[in-house]
Structure 1
Amino acid sequence: MPVKPVSPVPHASLGPIAVHFPERLETNADLQLEFPEWNLPQIATKTGIEQRYIAAEGETASDLATAATEKLFREHNIDPASIDFLLYCTQTPDYPLPTTACLLQDRLGLRTSCGALDFNLGCSGFVYGLAMAEGLIQSRAAKRILLVTSETYSKYIDPSDRSLRTIFGDAAAVTLVESSEEQTLWGFQFGTDGSGADTLMVADGGARLPADALSPRHRKRWPSRLYMDGPSLINFTVESIPRLVEDILAENNVDRSSINLFLMHQATRKMLEQLQLRMDVDETKMPIELADCGNTVSSTIPILIERMRRTKRLHTDTTNMLIGFGVGWSWAGCLWKDTYSE
């Protein structure tokens, strides 16, 4: 009986990325006029954020995702019929059901044989999405995947909430992930600690009544649907992420000095600077890019990559590390070489 030849195992490779922001721009100067008692210069020093884009009333995360994907198709001459899987990461879905990915399949004109699913992970979602894309491609279940991240956290924030309104911005990013013979993503590691679930939480909108939800650890100061315990999130990050980095390096026999860039979830400047200090990483190797768009949750890493590519700060065939962390608590990291060129 003839033996079927074994072909090389395919791997996932990051192609072009498109980013879309809502039209409305909200600057710190705008907030200062609205709330003269807020110390915006001091807040900006800690957060590193000067402005954010905010979705309009009635504008959803799927609207932003559609605009970003159509931009990707248009600017990179991509045929929607060539896409065979859609991975959609969001914590602001259009409806509890159906999955928003099904709605996007129809809006984008993807073929009906295309797989589509939502996953809700927030800040670690992009790295998790890359791992899922790698698995789909390695198993030969898919060859051309759209990894879409889109968030409208502003829908959960009360206008008077100084702690959240000055941080979170709305955005969508879409990454084309394609099959390649070369392995460009490897060393994935993940972490979960649900004991911190109540440090960043929206308690309503699900099947569990808000009265039965996990109780926030500290007295809620603001009327926002979204609750955040910032100090606990910072403590979690500076304890867990340096360990994750060291574990990835050790597991893959990679020396820290050979990492070109540590591309981290863009939470706030204060959090990233504390990571730089704890990890003893030079600021040039851990870029901070959130001043003009804020913390866009699952979209921060692809936005960062797109900007680094556009400004020629990413070099092909150098090893980088991608790290996402936050809500859940959930975290994930991997090693990555960028082989994409325009």
Structure 2
Amino acid sequence: MNTYIKDIAYYLPQTEISNEVIVRDFPEWSVEKIASKVGVDKRHVAAEDETASDMAVKAAEILFQRGNIRKEDIDFVLFCTQSPDYKLPTSACMIQHQLGLRKDIGALDFNLGCSGFVYGLSLAKGLMAGGIASNVLLLTAETYNKYLHPKDKGNRTIFGDAASATVIGMSGFAQIGEFSLGTDGSGANNLIVRSGGSRIPEAKNDIRFDENGNPISSDYLYMNGSEIFTFTLDNVPSLVNDTLVNNGLEKETINQFVFHQANKYMLNFLRKKLEIEQDRFYYCLSKFGNTVSSSIPIALIEAIDDGTIHEGDNVLLAGFGVGYSWAGTVLRFSKS
């Protein structure tokens, strides 16, 4: 069964943090250094009382207001987040009610980060192939900034909060191809928030600072940048190759590569390692930062709107990160 992206939208929180604001807290940084090294000029941050599910609902409402699909046609909700409102109930169930969707539908959360959008496409395709759903609403939303220590200058320059909404159906503007998926849980400790779950339920209050002045705490997001970089270089090239093979394509037949928008340095290194020309490798993190599971759908929308992606194009998606997990697929944009 062929499955397609029917429509896609995103939502950004109202609060915008520019590099000028960041350097007030970290005068050892400069606006130019952040822009050149990280590739981010500004990022959006969720309000104190704004949750991932709130943002997902807003993204979905933007999508429905366009009128390309009706709420009553949705028969499954998938919500990708690592920032759930509660340990229970499932955020997707609350979203169903908040959006006023039918009650005779499925709804579930899945906990993935930077690979989450591509994984979500694979889940939606599977639901449709199994005859379980005809129109799947895939939502992604993260509020990683709530996990960051105020003195974490590295991660505060990188991450932005955002949400996206995508409808996958039996017709649309981009056909979803075959997938390549991967997992390596041995790297779990290299990108983690340790406390707050069942293993460490209470806050540890164990903040310390490394030799560079970066905070390390069980109660906030910890990222081992060098290990994440090594993981990415070890796995993304084979992910791209496997995705091409699974779709019966050569690298030269891909019009655009849309990767998870991690940071400028990593993306540039990957592009050069894969020998992809710059005009076929899409960047848009300067306006949004690393928005985790929402970075690929936001990049897709931006690339469509600015004319980078055209009708008839093959677009390879690659998500990778926390878990470790990685996922790739190809979108074939319809010809008029």
Q: Same fold (TM over 0.5)?
A: yes
Secondary structure of the 2:33 match is: helix
CA distances 1:234-281 after superposition (whole Å, capped 9, x unpaired): 111111110111122234431111111111000001010010111011
Mapped contact 1:11–1:183 kept (Cα < 8 A)? no
* Residue in structure 2 matched with residue 228 of structure 1 by the alignment: 223
Mapped contact 1:66–1:108 kept (Cα < 8 A)? yes
Q: Separation in 2 of the partners of 1:316 and 1:38?
A: 42
* Superposition CA RMSD, Å: 2.2
Q: Which runs of 4+ in 1 moved over 6 A?
A: none
Q: Separation in 2 of the partners of 1:157 and 1:86?
A: 29
Mapped contact 2:76–2:136 kept (Cα < 8 A)? yes
Mapped contact 2:35–2:41 kept (Cα < 8 A)? yes
Q: Displacement, 1:315?
A: 1.5
Equivalences, count: 328
Which stretch shifts more, 316-325 or 96-105? 316-325
Q: Percent identity?
A: 45
Q: 2:251 aligns with which of 238, 246, 256?
A: 256
* Residue in structure 2 matched with residue 41 of structure 1 by the alignment: 32
Mapped contact 2:180–2:246 kept (Cα < 8 A)? no
Closer, same or farther in 2 for the Cα pair 1:312/1:33, shift >3 Å?
A: same
Q: 2:18 aligns with which of 15, 24, 27?
A: 27
TM-score (norm 1): 0.91
Q: Separation in 2 of the partners of 1:147 and 1:14?
A: 10
Closer, same or farther in 2 for the Cα pair 1:309/1:340, shift >3 Å?
A: farther
Q: Separation in 1 of the partners of 2:64 and 2:242?
A: 38
Q: Displacement, 1:311?
A: 1.4
Q: Separation in 2 of the partners of 1:314 and 1:177?
A: 19
Closer, same or farther in 2 for the Cα pair 1:180/1:139, shift >3 Å?
A: farther
Q: Separation in 1 of the partners of 2:105 and 2:60?
A: 15
* Residue in structure 1 matched with residue 234 of structure 2 by the alignment: 239
Mapped contact 2:5–2:172 kept (Cα < 8 A)? no
Q: Separation in 2 of the partners of 1:278 and 1:210?
A: 42
Q: Does 1:168 align with 2:152?
A: no
Q: 1:118 aligns with which of 109, 112, 116?
A: 109
Q: Which amino acid is the alignment partner of residue 243 of structure 1?
A: S
- Which residues of structure 2 form unaligned runs of 5+? none
Q: Which amino acid is the alignment partner of residue 215 of structure 2?
A: W
CA distances 1:284-342 after superposition (whole Å, capped 9, x unpaired): 1111111011000000000011111111221222222111000011000012112398x
- Which residues of structure 1 form unaligned runs of 5+? 1-9
Q: Separation in 2 of the partners of 1:25 and 1:306?
A: 20
Q: Separation in 2 of the partners of 1:245 and 1:38?
A: 34
* Residue in structure 2 matched with residue 324 of structure 1 by the alignment: 319
Closer, same or farther in 2 for the Cα pair 1:251/1:286, shift >3 Å?
A: same
CA distances 1:147-190 after superposition (whole Å, capped 9, x unpaired): 10000001101111101100000000101111139992222011
Mapped contact 2:39–2:263 kept (Cα < 8 A)? yes
Which stretch shifts more, 172-181 or 113-122? 172-181
Q: Does 1:309 align with 2:300?
A: no
1:113-262 equivalence runs, <5 A: 113-180=104-171, 184-209=175-200, 221-223=214-216, 225-262=220-257
Q: Separation in 2 of the partners of 1:295 and 1:307?
A: 15
Mapped contact 1:14–1:338 kept (Cα < 8 A)? no
Q: Displacement, 1:114?
A: 1.3
Mapped contact 1:87–1:116 kept (Cα < 8 A)? yes
Q: 2:292 aligns with which of 287, 291, 297?
A: 297
Q: Which amino acid is the alignment partner of residue 193 of structure 2?
A: V
Closer, same or farther in 2 for the Cα pair 1:275/1:210, shift >3 Å?
A: farther
Secondary structure of the 1:123 match is: coil
Q: Which amino acid is the alignment partner of residue 25 of structure 1?
A: E
Q: 1:87 aligns with which of 70, 78, 99?
A: 78
